[in-house]
Structure 1
Amino acid sequence: MNPMPPLWMLAIASLAASFLLAWGWRGWALHRGHVDHPGERRLHQVPTPRGGGIGIAVVLLLASAWLGEGREAFALGLVLCAGAGLADDLRPLPPALKLLLQAAGGLSLAWAFPLLPEWLGHPLGTAVALLFVVGLVNVWNFLDGSNGMATTQALLAALGLALLAPSAPGLGWLAVALAAACLGFLPLNFPRARLFLGDVGSHALGYGVAALGLVAASQLEAGQAWLLLLPPSVMLIDAGLTLVARAGRRQVLWQAHREHLYQRAVAHGWSHAGVCALYAAWTVAACALALAVAGLAPPWPLAACALAYVAGTLLHAALGRRWPRPGETLESVG
C-alpha cells in the first residue's frame, strides 16, 4: 500500500480535483448537448448539464490506493458501477444492462468485503453485501433529484461510517476523500444547480457509501452491524417507502417520477436548500445515535436501528399527508 498522505493534504487535493473536473466537464457537456431538460417529472426549470459527478468518481478511484487489502476489487467495482452511470449519461442504457453492470461492480466489492463472514459464511455474506451495494447505488440514484441532496447525504454518511470504525485500515482516508470530493462538487450544484451529478456521480456516491459500510463492518461485532443502516437511513426510508407505494399502484419502478418525499416537498413550496437541510438534520441525528450506542452490547444497536426506522416511517407518513403526490404522478401502468 502506498504511504498515506496527511489527511489535510488528501482533503485539499480531493476537493480541488472534484471541482476542477466537474467544471471542465460542465463546459464539455454544454458543448456536446449532454443536458437534462425540464419536464413534468423533474424539479429543475432550465436545461442543465449532467455527468458532473465524474470528478467524485475519479477522486474515489485514486483514493483507493490507500484502502489497503481489497483496493483492487474496490477499484474494479467502482469502474463498473460509475462506468455504467457515465455510459447512461452519454446515451441511455437499457435498464437490464445497467443493473447487470451495477451487479458486476457490486459483486467485485462484495467478494472482497463480505458482510459478517464469520457469522453468515463467505457465500451468504457476499450475497448480502452485494444487495447492500446495489441497493445503495440505486437509492442514491433515485434520490438525486434536488440540489445538494445526494451529495450532502453521502458526505455526512461517509463521516458517520468512518467514526463508527476508526481503526479500520484506510477507512478514514477513503471517507475524507469522498467527503472532500462532495464539497468540491457542491458549489456547482447548491443552492443553484449549474451542473448535475448525473448517474456517474450518484452511482459513485452510493458505491462509495456502501464500500465504507462494508469496510466498517469488518471491524464491528456481529451485533453492532445494524448500526451501518443508520447513516444512510433517511435515503433508505424515502426510497423504500416510495418504491413500495409505487409497486402497490403497479407503476414501473425504474421510470422517472416526482413521488419521493423530497420531490413532493419542493413541489409544495419548500426550497431545495430547506429540503436538503431537513434531510441533513435527520442524518446528523442518525449518525449521533449510531455513535452513542456503538459501544453497547446487543440488543441495543438493533433496538436503536429499529427505533430510527419506525420513527422515520411515521414521520414520512405524516409529512406525506402534508405534501401529497402531484397530480401528474398518479398515472398507473396497470
Structure 2
Amino acid sequence: MSALAFAFLLSLLFTLFLVRYSFLHNSFSADYDLNGVQKFHANPVPRIGGVALVFGLTGAFFVRYLKDPDVANFCFLLLMSAMPAFLFGLLEDLTKRIGIKIRLLAVIFSALMAGYFLESWLLSLQIFGIDNLILAYPMVSILITCFAVAGVSNAFNIIDGYNGLSSMVGFIILGGIFYVAFQLGDFSIMIAALALMGAILGFLIFNYPRGLIFLGDGGAYLIGFWIAELSILLTARHSEVSKWFPLLLCAYPIVETLFTIYRRIIIQRTHPGMPDAAHLHQMIYKRIVRWEVSSNDSRDIVIRNSLTAPYLWVLTSLAVIPAVLFWDNVWALRAFTLLFLVSYILLYRRLVLFKVPAWLIINQRR
C-alpha cells in the first residue's frame, strides 16, 4: 500500500501547487473555450492535471526502488513508455494545436516501446480465425496491440467531459486490475495499478466536485495507456486470464468510442474525429441532471457537472464487477460483454427519445 500512499500524497501536493498558483500558468494551461460543444464549465480551468499524476507516479516508484528494485524497474519502464502518449497530450493541453492523428501516433509509439521493453503484446484474442493469423504472422500481433492501446487511450480522452468522470472510471478499472493481479501474485502489476490509483485520488480531491483543475488530454491518455498496458500484460504473463477480461473491464469507454464512431459516420455522416455533444455522459447531463438543477447560475453549473459523473461510475462498475468475478471464464465474460452492449444501446435510446427511467431521477420535482 506504500505505492498508493506515496503517489496519493505527492499527487495531492503537486495538484495543490498547480491550483494555488494557477495565476502563474493560466495563460497557457487554462481552458478558455467555454462555448464549445463539449464544454460544460463556467470559468477557465487549468487542464494540466496529468502532470500531477506523473509526479505522483515518479515519486512512488523512487520510494519503491529502495524496497524492490525489480518491481520499480518494471514500473519505470512502463512510465517511460507512456511518456510519448502523455507528452503529446500535454502539448495539446498547452497549445490546443496538436491534432488527433499526431496524438494517436504518439500513443502507438508508446505501445511499441512497451511491447519492446516489457513484451506486452496481444498474442491471442480468443476469437476464431484471428488467433490463427496472430500465430502465423507476428506482425498481426503488433498491429492489433497498437490498435488496442491507441483505442483505449483515446477512449479515456473521449469520456473526459465532466468533473471526476474519466479519472474515477480509471480508478475503478485499475481496482479490477489490482484485484486480478493480487489473485495471481503478480506484484509488479499490483504496484503499478496501486500507484496510479493513489495519484488519481490525489488529483480528484481538487477535481471533484468543484472542478478546480482538469485532467487534460495528457492525463486522460496516461490513464488510458496505463490501463491498456496493464491489461495486456496480465493476459500475456498469465495464460489463465481470459483475453475477454480486459474487454469487459473497459467496456464503458470502449463501447462509448465504438458507438461514437458509428454515430458520426453512419448516422451523422461526418468525420469520426469531429466533436459533438451526443456522448452518453452528455445525454445524461442534458436529459437527467440539467432537469434536476435547471438554474444557469455558475454555482449550479458546477453542481450539474459534478452530478453527471456518478451515473457513469455506476455503469462502469456494472462491467468491472462481473469482469473481476469471472476473469478466467471466457464464456461468462462474453455473455456479460454482450449484456453490457445491449444495455448501453437501450439506455442511450431512451435518453434520446426523452424516455428517461423514473428511477434514474434523483431529485424528482412534483
The structure with more radius of gyration: 2
State the match for 2:286 in structure 1. 267
Percentage of identical aligned residues: 21
Report the alpha carbon displacement of residue 252 of structure 1 after superposing the two structures with TM: 3.2
Residues 61 and 114 of structure 1: CA distance in aligned 2, closer, same or farther (over 3 Å): farther
Residues 71 and 194 of structure 1: CA distance in aligned 2, closer, same or farther (over 3 Å): closer
1:104, 1:286 → 2: CA distance?
Answer: 29
The within-5 A match list for 1:206-221 is 206-221=224-239
Whether the 8 Å CA contact 2:206–2:213 is kept in 1: the answer is: yes
Report the alpha carbon displacement of residue 58 of structure 1 after superposing the two structures with TM: 3.1
1:77, 1:180 → 2: CA distance?
Answer: 20
Equivalent of 1:291 in 324, 347, 352: 324
State the match for 2:208 in structure 1. 190
Report the alpha carbon displacement of residue 155 of structure 1 after superposing the two structures with TM: 0.2
Does 2:99 match 1:94? yes
Does 2:102 match 1:107? no
Moved more, 224-233 or 141-150: 224-233
State the match for 1:78 in structure 2. 82
1:126, 1:189 → 2: CA distance?
Answer: 36
Report the alpha carbon displacement of residue 295 of structure 1 after superposing the two structures with TM: 4.1
Q: Which amino acid aligns with 1:194?
A: L
CA-to-aligned-CA distance 1:252-307 (integer Å, 9 cap, x gap): 333333221111222345133332111111222212211222343x4333233223
State the match for 2:35 in structure 1. 39
Moved more, 115-124 or 263-272: 115-124
Q: Which amino acid aligns with 2:123?
A: L
State the match for 1:231 in structure 2. 249
State the match for 2:346 in structure 1. 314
CA-to-aligned-CA distance 1:145-201 (integer Å, 9 cap, x gap): 101000100000001122223223411111111111111011111111011111111
Report the alpha carbon displacement of residue 232 of structure 1 after superposing the two structures with TM: 1.6
SS in 1 for 2:19: helix
Equivalent of 2:17 in 20, 24, 30: 24
Moved more, 203-212 or 60-69: 60-69
State the match for 2:123 in structure 1. 116
Give 5+ residue unaligned stretches, structure 1.
1-6, 325-334
Report the alpha carbon displacement of residue 223 of structure 1 after superposing the two structures with TM: 7.5
Equivalent of 1:53 in 42, 50, 53: 50
SS in 2 for 1:12: helix
Whether the 8 Å CA contact 1:147–1:276 is kept in 2: the answer is: yes
Residues 227 and 83 of structure 1: CA distance in aligned 2, closer, same or farther (over 3 Å): same
Whether the 8 Å CA contact 1:56–1:181 is kept in 2: the answer is: yes
Moved more, 264-273 or 199-208: 264-273
Q: Which amino acid aligns with 2:284?
A: A
Whether the 8 Å CA contact 1:50–1:196 is kept in 2: the answer is: yes
SS in 2 for 1:165: helix
Residues 45 and 252 of structure 1: CA distance in aligned 2, closer, same or farther (over 3 Å): farther
CA-to-aligned-CA distance 1:41-75 (integer Å, 9 cap, x gap): 21111111111121112333555666477556523
SS in 2 for 1:230: helix
SS in 1 for 2:244: helix
State the match for 1:129 in structure 2. 145
1:73, 1:281 → 2: CA distance?
Answer: 33
Whether the 8 Å CA contact 1:264–1:323 is kept in 2: the answer is: no
Whether the 8 Å CA contact 2:152–2:228 is kept in 1: the answer is: yes
Equivalent of 1:148 in 127, 147, 164: 164
1:117, 1:269 → 2: CA distance?
Answer: 41
How many pairs does the alignment contain? 316
Q: Which amino acid aligns with 1:43?
A: F
Moved more, 253-262 or 187-196: 253-262
Report the alpha carbon displacement of residue 14 of structure 1 after superposing the two structures with TM: 0.5
Residues 28 and 135 of structure 1: CA distance in aligned 2, closer, same or farther (over 3 Å): farther
Moved more, 131-140 or 60-69: 60-69
1:308, 1:265 → 2: CA distance?
Answer: 17
1:123, 1:161 → 2: CA distance?
Answer: 27
1:93, 1:210 → 2: CA distance?
Answer: 22
2:253, 2:72 → 1: CA distance?
Answer: 29
Whether the 8 Å CA contact 1:238–1:316 is kept in 2: the answer is: no
SS in 2 for 1:221: coil
What's the Cα RMSD here? 2.5
Does 2:263 match 1:256? no
Whether the 8 Å CA contact 1:80–1:101 is kept in 2: the answer is: yes
Moved more, 304-313 or 224-233: 304-313
